[in-house]
Every structure is written in structure tokens, then in C-alpha cells.
Structure 1
Amino acid sequence: MPSKKPQLTIRIEEDEYSYLQEWAQEEFMTPPQLAKILLKKAIASKKKEKEGNKRETA
């Protein structure tokens, strides 16, 4: 059964993809798996940053 989760398609430069591919191999992952992890970490960091800003202004 196909996932009902939203999908995201991105286009990156060839050199960036090559680097991502090498990095993913080192981590025993595929480039999409690594990209998903990196995106999740970036989102968590941004949420934490925003939460900190809300506390400072309160």
C-alpha cells in the first residue's frame, strides 16, 4: 500500500549529489535516507531556535 505521507522532490548540483552519495555510503545508507535525516535534524534545530526566541520575548 502506498504511503499517504507528503513527498518532496529536490534538485541539487551534481557535485553536491556526489558528496551526498559518498557520505551516505560511509553511513551505510542511500542518499535519500541520509537527506531525510539531515532534513529532520535541520527542522528540529529550527524549531528549537524558534522556541528559544519565543521564551526570550515573553
Structure 2
Amino acid sequence: MPSKKPQMTIRIEEDEYKYLQSWANKEFLTVPQLTRVLVKRAIAEQKKLEQNKSA
């Protein structure tokens, strides 16, 4: 059954993609999996910064 989660497409430079591929291979992940991890980390970090500003 297909996921109902929202999807997005990004376009990046070829050298950036190759870097992500290399990084993902070292982590035993695919590029989409690594990208998901990075986005989740960035969101968590941003939320933490916003919490600290409002405190």
C-alpha cells in the first residue's frame, strides 16, 4: 500500500549528489534515507532554537 506521507522533489548539483552518495554508502543508507535523516535533524535543531528564543 503506498504511503500517504507528503513527497517532495529537490534538485541539487551533481557534485553535491555524489557527495551525498558517498556519505550514504558509508552509513549503509540510500541517498533518500540519508536525506530524510538530515532533514529531520535540521527540523529538530530549528525547533530547539525557536524554543530557546521564546524561553
Scaled by the length of structure 2, the TM-score of the pair is: 0.97
CA apart distance, 1:8: 1.2
Identity %: 62
Matched, 1:27 2:27: yes
Q: Distance in 1 between matches of 2:26 and 2:4?
A: 30
Scaled by the length of structure 1, the TM-score of the pair is: 0.93
CA apart distance, 1:19: 0.2
Bigger radius of gyration: 1
The size of the alignment, in residue pairs, is: 55
CA apart distance, 1:50: 0.2
Uncovered stretches (5+) of structure 1, i.e. residues with no partner: none
Uncovered stretches (5+) of structure 2, i.e. residues with no partner: none
Q: Cα RMSD over matched residues?
A: 0.4
Match of 1:46 in 2: 46
